[in-house]
Each structure stands twice: as structure tokens, then as C-alpha cells.
Amino acid sequence: MTDYSQFAEPHSEEDRLVRRIDLERLPRHIAVIMDGNGRWARERRLPRVAGHRSGISAVRETVEMCARLGVDVLTLYAFSQENWKRPPAEVTTLMSLLREYVRKELDTLLKNDIRFSVIGHLEDLPASAQRELGRAVEKTSANKGLQFNIALSYGGRTEIVDACRALLRENVDPDEVTTEMFAGKLYTAGQPDPDLLIRTSGELRISNFLLWQIAYAEIWVTETLWPDFRRAHLFEAVIDFQRRERRYGGLSRGKEKDPVVVRS
């Protein structure tokens, strides 16, 4: 029998929500566009970086809950290639928050059997951040639980171009290229595609995130700003996901045949 106390305080609102989830039909891969840190800070008349700092608690809770639920892969969009255009002080703070997060959370990642990895152009990051992230990737590499990807200096179009380059370097015959072969050259090679894409703060955009992989993802958008995102929101997203009918371009069950028209 499932021990629900690992997910939420018994009889709490979260407990009520998590019991509505069918744990046998979880999304295998959840991808998240964490948005709204700046707005969260502005609403409190705080500097933008206070929003990023506060967003770390949401990261921690989401990672831990996905691991406990038994989700296979979680990918968080932490820093896009376009984010380099932000003011240098904001970029520097984000990089040091990342370092701090990885340093503080490594034990928790290990304890929860979480395998950590980075997708994107890690080489664009400051050397100190590369070192800290690389250490966490290495130390967690044998873990078998949740695969936790952080997208850093990531761009979906660049990822596709990188995959093309990799294929061309191998002199693959153009007529031999298949979608499976192409997917095998993406940063997420070997991982299932996201079934559920969550975006916080209400924007209805994809923002160059996992462009290839989200072809059939179910999208769930909440007005909640990222620093306020908690397990209850994650549970709501999964409940909503499980209500959707995924057709992958096919027809609904029971509608495969045309109705029989009786002509008189």
C-alpha cells in the first residue's frame, strides 16, 4: 500500500490532491519553464535577484517531490542562451546561486538517488560554476532514481543545430537519417520526451525550450509565479495531465470507425 505521508502531511490540502494522482500513470518526463521570479520580486519592491533566490525553494521542493513520486526525468529551464543579455549583476548572481544550490543540495541528491546532469552549453559558464556542476554530475552519475536535468545556457534551436552537426560529422547518408537517429544526437539522448510541460507565471510561450522533444507534450500553465510554486501546484498539474486524452495525431478510442449510416 502507498505511504502517502512521504508526499504530504496527512489530511492536508496537498494530501487530498496527491491521493487523486494515479501513481501508475505518472508522466515519465516533466519539463518546467520556471518563470516569474522578477515579477515576484517587483511585487515586494525587492531587487530581481531576490526573486531568483526565493525560486530556489521551489526548485528544491519540485526536485524532491518528483523523486518521491517516481517520475523518471525532470528538466528545469534555469538559464537560456538569451539570458546572457540580462544585466551582468543579475547574471553573476544567478551563477553564484547555481553554485550555492549544487553545493548545498549534493547530499540530498545523493540521499534521494537522484542523477544530476546539465543540458546546454556548459562551457559558456564561469569556470567555478562549471567545476561545481561537474562535480555534482560525476558524484551522482551512478544513481538510478530521478534523472534531474538543469538546462543552462540552453537554446532549443542550438540543440537541433548541434544534433545536425553531430550527424554530419559522422558522414551519415542523408537518406538514412531517421527521427530516432536524430533524437539520439540531442542533449537528452536516451531519455523519454517530456509528457508534461509546466510553465509558471501565465505566459503562453515555449521560449526556445526542448523544441524537438515537446512535440507531443501536454502543456500546463499556471498564473503562480515560480517562487510561489509548491508541491500542490505540481500535484494539480499531474492530475490535469492524467485527465487529458493523448492521441498523438490519431483518433480517440471508440472513434476509429466512421458511424454506420443507415440509408432508407
Q: Which of 15, 72, 83, 228 is catalytic?
A: 83
Q: Where are the beta strands (DSSP E) in 120-241?
A: 147-154, 196-199, 218-221
Per CB under 6 A, the list member of 78, 95, 114, 196 interacting with ligand FPP is: 78
124 a catalytic residue: no
Residues near 94 by Cβ (< 8 Å), separated by ≥ 6? 49, 52, 78, 79, 83
Q: What is the sign of the dihedral through the CA atoms of 50, 53, 57 and 63?
A: positive
Return the number of the residue (150 or 163) whose C-beta is nearest ligand FPP: 150
Which one of the spans 31-39, 65-73, 137-145, 254-262 is the region binding ligand FPP (CB under 6 A)?
A: 31-39
37 binds ligand FPP (CB under 6 A): yes
The continuous run of DSSP H or E covering 52 comes out as helix 48-69
Per CB under 6 A, the list member of 17, 18, 29, 38 interacting with ligand FPP is: 38
Is the CB of residue 187 less than 8 Å from the CB of residue 160? no
Q: Which residue is nearest to ligand FPP (CB)?
A: 38
DSSP label at residue 231: H
156 binds ligand FPP (CB under 6 A): no
35 a catalytic residue: yes
Q: Where are the beta strands (DSSP E) in 122-232?
A: 147-154, 196-199, 218-221
83 binds ligand FPP (CB under 6 A): yes
| Active site members | 35, 83
Q: Which residues bind ligand FPP (CB under 6 A)?
A: 34-39, 52, 55-56, 59, 76, 78, 83, 97-98, 101, 150, 201, 226
